[in-house]
Amino acid sequence: MAGNTETDMLKIKNLHASVEGKEILKGINLEVNPGEVHAIMGPNGSGKSTLASVIAGNEDFEVTDGTIELEGEELNELAPEERAHQGVFLSFQYPVEIPGVTVTNFMKTAINETRKARGLEEMPANEMLKKIREKSELLEIDRKFLSRSLNEGFSGGEKKRNEIFQMAMMEPKLAILDETDSGLDIDALKVVANGVNRLKTPQNATIVITHYQRLLDYIVPDHVHVLLNGKIVKSGGKELALELEEKGYDWIKQEAAV
């Protein structure tokens, strides 16, 4: 292992991934340090969700080259749940419905399975309840909501808010938020962004995938990357997002083509 004194939270080297023989990620390089917020932007179909899925270990995608490391440890061979146990969390662009399983039960299972994998006892019920109360207050979620079936019949915005509630419960090292802002109304966006900010510590890191500058007004990124056709073609500070908002992607496409 590299003798860095400061290990990256996430280090992606030359990552290639394909689905059904079609290459989607074509050599991604990305380094994220603890305490940082990175934003990934890019046109529809450029591979943002694919990158998130591949980091999380979705086996629909085949990694044909490159490595993904979390705190210096390679994730490539790990199953999705093992990556979750290591502290990777993905807020889904399209959260999935699980009929009959309440939000509370789902979180209880997720937390206890993760604790088990880490060699810890199950979380005592009162502690669990306290945590649920705390985090649902943070995200201004009605308690009644927590006894509904996971994502079943949730509105688009409710689903997204619920994803961030889960993130708050799981306390990941690396959180990837895939278009969490889409579907949220203006007030909800503030609540969710505020939640994300409150959960930030110098030890964890966040990757925010978004199309809009608006979210980045609240969750201020240290770095902004533009993903185009499976590659990061441009990186910069938060002002890059403003520039994109103003000018769109054409100029980047032209630059990249040169």
Ligand X SMILES: Nc1ncnc2c1ncn2[C@@H]1O[C@H](COP(=O)(O)OP(=O)(O)OP(=O)(O)O)[C@@H](O)[C@H]1O
Write out the residues near Mg ion by the rule CB under 5 A.
48-49, 93
Burial of residue 2 (CB within 10 Å: 0-12, 13-18, 19+) is exposed
H/E stretch holding 242: helix 239-247
Using the minimum distance from each CB to Mg ion, give the nearer residue, 86 or 151.
151
Among 58, 194, 229, 235, binds other proteins (CB under 8 A): 58
Distance (Å, rounded) from C-alpha 23 to C-alpha 17?
6
Least distance between Mg ion and beta carbon 203 (Å) = 27
Our finding on whether 243 is near other proteins (CB under 8 A) is no
Binding region for other proteins (CB under 8 A) out of 17-25, 85-93, 233-241, 243-251: 85-93
- The number of residues that bind ligand X (CB under 6 A) is 13
The phi, psi pair for 194, rounded to 5°, reads -60, -40
Figure out which of the listed residues 9, 12, 15, 49 binds ligand X, where binding follows CB under 6 A.
Answer: 49
Task: Provide, rounded to whole angstroms, the least separation between the CB of residue 12 and ligand X.
Answer: 15
Report the b/e string of 222-242 with b at 16+ CB within 10 A.
Answer: ebbbbbbebbbbbeeebebbe
Residue 101, binding choice from Mg ion, other proteins, ligand X, none, Cβ under 5 to 8 Å by partner class = other proteins
Its sign, for the CA torsion 13, 83, 154, 206, is negative
Q: By CB under 8 A, is residue 125 in contact with other proteins? A: no
Ordered DSSP codes for 149-191: EETTT--HHHHHHHHHHHHHHH--SEEEEESTTTT--HHHHHH
Of the residues 3, 21, 100, 124, which one makes contact with other proteins according to CB under 8 A: 100
Binding region for other proteins (CB under 8 A): 56-60, 79-81, 84-85, 88-90, 92, 95-101, 105-106, 109-111, 113-114, 117, 149, 166, 170
